[in-house]
Amino acid sequence: SAVISQKPSRDICQRGTSLTIQCQVDSQVTMMFWYRQQPGQSLTLIATANQGSEATYESGFVIDKFPISRPNLTFSTLTVSNMSPEDSSIYLCSVEKGLNTEAFFGQGTRLTVV
């Protein structure tokens, strides 16, 4: 398994501001993934973060809005920029510890934008 620590667990932010979410894993992993879960919805992949290269974004998500850093093999950050109430969601990071293995998730960051 994997132990994933995500911070903050929740936050209430003013529109127009930015929030950076941190994800720390207990061991080195090649790929980290960031997901968004809007209220009452399923999870949607935002981007895949590989250490040492730029993140790969899914359709509908752009780097200017959701910049991602991956400085080493155990850590990543996701920033939600210039927030609006529509960004209110749960944001989760995920890792896979090997090829074709199960995915593990952090406890999530519950973001409310007012």
**Residue 14: how many CA atoms within 13 Å on its side-chain side?**
2
Q: Which residues of the chain form contacts with another protein (CB under 8 A)?
A: 1, 30-31, 33, 37, 42-45, 48, 58, 90, 92, 94, 96, 99-105, 107-108, 110
d(CA 95, CA 84): 28
Closest distance of CB 31 from another protein, Å: 4
| Smallest gap from residue 26 Cβ to another protein (A) | 15
CB of 45 to another protein, least distance (A): 5
Q: How many distinct helices (H) and strands (E) make up the chain? A: 0, 11
